[in-house]
Structure 1
Amino acid sequence: MIHVHNLMEKAVYDNIFPGGVLLAAEKGEILFCKAYGHADIFANTKMNVDTVFDLASLTKPLAASAALMKLTEETSGLPEWELGNIIPEICSTDKAHIKIKHLLSHTSGFPDYRPYYLKINKVTDENPKTVLRELLIKESLVSFPGKKVIYSDLGFMMLEWVIEKLTATALDCFLDKEIYSPLGIKNLFFPGISYKKEKHFAATELCPWRRKLLKGAVHDDNAYAAGGIQGHAGLFGTIKDVFILLCELLNAVKGNKNQGVFKKKVVEYFFRPYRNTGRSLGFDMPSPEGSSSGCFFCKNSVGHLGFTGTSFWMDIDRYIILILLTNRIHPYRHNYKIKIFRPVIHNAVMEKIMNK
């Protein structure tokens, strides 16, 4: 993995990201796990393999989708349920007939993004999550459910609400009780907006409206304004605990020995390509051209990217997991060099594994 090591060092030197951690595994065995660069350039803090990252949109597969996998085990056909049967507040709206599978596959008709935090921050006498949900109810759909793929944070905000309604508990509590703790995972968590424990966090952006360097506070504006615990963003974690969860999912779908947290048939259902969307339920899949996964992942691989510079890919056929966690938005978000780097590093790792 000398070439891989050199590429990661060069990425730091070329300011693709201040720091990062790369993990590669095959058949459940970690082949490579190494940290590079700085977790905080202002404090001159080095990155290490135990650094906690703001996982950004990895929250979608590793939190919201994982929770719904678990709930689908208990309730057959759950992805086909309509929101109007779960959330009474939307029964008389255009969102009543949106199905859970539409939200998971980004075909719900919700727009991609709205700066809700600007409105939430102005309200001082109401629960911020309640304000967010009122905005979601009022939001106009931009397409008919099931007809068009629009990658949507709003859809996964709705899923957080769905999970809360189905479980009568908060998303973070359900995940910890039903998934993370049974797997021995201690460093996948939602710090919210008032986390007190000392962790080795990777710094993210110098936030223009919070007027401070974000470190241990969720970067996503809407998630932060709504309390820090959402279905689209808010999850933090270390690379090794992300690996534990991914390994359990991959073992489940392969029918291998695992901790029994997930059932094979449910994971198979979620990992299956969803119609012609280029996605599975809750996960991304390699695009035919220009995929961030590079050239070597099989077509039914699953993965996801996060805005802060995080990503993972799982090659189901070859039983390979690659995780790249970086703080590419530190100190500012206007650094998109990682788009070119991701396929390069993935190709280098995959070539090394396949040719060993």
Structure 2
Amino acid sequence: MKTVDRLMQKALEDGVFPGGVLLVSKEDQIVFFEDYGYADIFSGTRMTRETIFDLASITKTLATTPAVMRLVQQNKLNIETRIGEILSEFTSDEKGNIRIRELLTHTSGLIDWRPYYPDVYPYPPKDRKAALRAMLLKESLIEQPGEKMLYSDLGFMFLEWIVESLSRKTLDNFVKEEIYDPLGLDNLFFTDTSSGITPEGHFAATENCPWRKMVLQGLVHDDNAYSVGGVCGHAGLFGTAEAVRLLVSELLNTYYGHSSKGIFRQDIVSLFFKRQENAGRALGFDCPPGKDGSCGQYFSEKTIGHLGFTGTSFWADMMRFAVVILLTNRVHPSRENIKIRAFRPMLHDAVMKALGYA
């Protein structure tokens, strides 16, 4: 792993990110776990292996998707169920025909993103989620459901709404009670900004936010998620590298039939891990697109993972039980730094070579 370590050191020198944590496991054993650089360049706070990161869109795979899996396991939901069968607001709306499967695979026909936050934030905190959902209700489809893959934050906002409707709990409380607490994952959580309480912990700083006019630390970077209090289906989850590993390992162990915890069922994990041909993705999880993907060229076809805008990612190879978790603060102090795009495949190739898979 000396080559891997040198690559991470060089990334700091080249300004790819101010700091990061790299964790690699093979067959459920950690083989590499190191921290690099700074969690906050302004205070000079060093990164540690216990640093808590804004996981950004990894929320989709490690909160919203597992929540949907639990509801499927509880027979409260089927992936072929249509939105209109769950949310009465959509009974006579074109979006009511979108299936859960299509939300999970980004083939819903919904637009990719919309800046809701300037219109949502002026509402009183208790009314902001309802205001956002009223805006979602007004959205028009740009494609017919199931016809085209377009990565969409909106689809996972809908999934959060569905989880809340079926469970009668907010997404953060549902995943905490159903998944995180039973697995002892204290370092995987949402920060509820509507409470007005500053979260405690060693957080990696993210952007000097032009809208909020401050350096964000322990507050969700995603503006739409922040505008509704920090808990949303597409973003808002925070966690350490070890917490990410523990949840991903539980999913993999269940997939292999090795888990006795019963949080997830093997057949459901297998269903969600399977690449969907019309989307090139699994249910809620990304899959390698080929040699040009961010995970490089050596992960097998049976790989799932996801990226986060803040500079986070994980990739899990089901054939080799190999997991690579890279958490960085690449948007600190500005999102204009996109050097990580070229760095990610190089790093993953080096890791897989070091593991003997290239």
**TM-score interval w.r.t. the shorter chain?**
over 0.9
Q: Say whether the 8 Å CA contact 1:109–1:148 is kept in structure 2.
A: yes
Whether 1:71 and 2:71 are equivalent positions in the alignment is yes
* Alignment counterpart, residue 351 of structure 1, candidates 340, 353, 358: 353
* Residue 102 of structure 1 pairs with residue 102 of structure 2: yes
Give the 3-state SS of the residue equivalent to 1:296 in structure 2.
Answer: coil
Q: Which amino acid aligns with 2:191?
A: P
- Written as runs of structure 1 = structure 2, the 5 A alignment for 1:54-203 is 54-75=54-75, 78-124=78-124, 127-193=127-193, 194-203=196-205
Aligned residue runs from structure 1 range 215-230, under 5 A: 215-230=217-232
CA deviations 1:218-250 (Å, max 9, x no partner) are: 000100001110010000000000100000000
Distance 1:102 1:198 in 2: 37
Task: Tell me how far 1:36 sits from its aligned partner.
Answer: 0.1
Residue 90 of structure 1: how far off its partner (Å): 1.5
1:77 Cα deviation (Å)? 6.2
1:96-134 alpha-carbon deviations (Å, 9 max, x no partner)? 111111100001111000000121123348700001000
Please tell me whether the aligned partners of residues 51 and 238 of structure 1 are also in contact (alpha carbons under 8 angstroms).
yes
Structure-1 residue corresponding to 2:233: 231
Question: Is 1:253–2:255 an aligned residue pair?
Answer: yes
Opposite residue 5 of structure 2, the aligned amino acid is: H
Cα pair 2:125 2:229 within 8 Å, conserved: no
The code of the aligned residue for 2:146 comes to: G
Question: Normalized against structure 1, the TM-score is what?
Answer: 0.98
Partner residue, 1:325: 327
Give secondary structure in 2 for the equivalent of 1:80: coil
Q: SS of the residue aligned with 1:56?
A: coil
1:212 maps to what in 2?
Answer: 214
Q: Deviations over 1:27-53 (max 9, x none)?
A: 100000100000000000000000000
Residues 3-50 of structure 1, C-alpha deviation per residue, up to 9 Å, x if partnerless?
A: 111110110111000000000001100000100000000000000000
Deviation at 1:321, TM superposition (A): 0.5
Q: Distance in 2 between matches of 1:299 and 1:118?
A: 41
Matches of 1:302 and 1:125 in 2, distance apart?
36
Give the superposition deviation at 1:257.
Answer: 3.4
Report the count of equivalent residues.
356
TM-score (norm 2): 0.97
Q: CA offsets per residue over residues 136-188 of structure 1, 9 Å max, x none?
A: 00011100111110100000000000000010011111101110011110010
> What is the distance in 2 between the residues matched to 1:149 and 1:81?
19
Contact 2:12 2:18 in 1 (8 A): yes
Q: Distance in 2 between matches of 1:191 and 1:235?
A: 7
Q: Which residue of 1 aligns with 2:317?
A: 315
Quote how far apart the aligned CAs of 1:289 are.
3.4
Whichever residue aligns with residue 248 of structure 1, its letter is: E
Say whether the 8 Å CA contact 2:58–2:237 is kept in structure 1: yes
User: What secondary structure, in the 3-state scheme, does the structure 2 residue paired with 1:183 have?
Assistant: coil
1:244 pairs, out of 233, 246, 250, with: 246
CA distance in 1, matches of 2:53, 2:112: 24
Partner of 1:38, secondary structure, is strand
Is 1:195–1:216's contact at 8 Å kept on the other side of the alignment? no
Equivalent position SS for 1:149: coil
Are the counterparts in 1 of residues 76 and 166 from structure 2 also a CA contact under 8 Å? Answer: no
Structure 1 residues 38 and 158, CA gap change in structure 2 (3 angstroms): same
The 8 Å contact of residues 71 and 77 in structure 2, kept in 1 or not, is answered as: no
Gaps of 5+ in 2: none
Aligned partners of 1:96, 1:285: CA distance in 2, in Å? 27
> Is contact 1:251–1:258 with CA below 8 Å preserved after alignment?
no
- Correspondence 1:303 to 2:305: yes
Q: Confirm or deny: 8 A CA contact 2:290 2:297 kept in the other structure.
A: no
Q: 2:12 maps to what in 1?
A: 12
Distance 1:307 1:71, change over 3 A: same
- Measured in 2, the distance between the counterparts of 1:319 and 1:158 equals 32
Instruction: Please give the secondary structure, in 2, of the residue aligned with 1:200.
Output: coil
Residues 292 and 342 in structure 1, CA contact (< 8 A), matched pair in contact too? yes
Partner amino acid, structure 1, of 2:45: T
Which 4+ residue blocks in structure 1 deviate beyond 4 angstroms?
none
Deviation of 1:76 (Å): 7.3
Give the match's secondary structure for 1:282: coil
Note the 1:261-340 alignment, pairs <5 A: 261-340=263-342
Deviation at 1:258, TM superposition (A): 4.3
Please, which runs of 5 or more residues in structure 1 have no aligned partner? none
Alignment root-mean-square deviation, CA: 1.3
Rate the CA distance shift 1:124–1:71 in 2: closer, same or farther, 3 A: closer
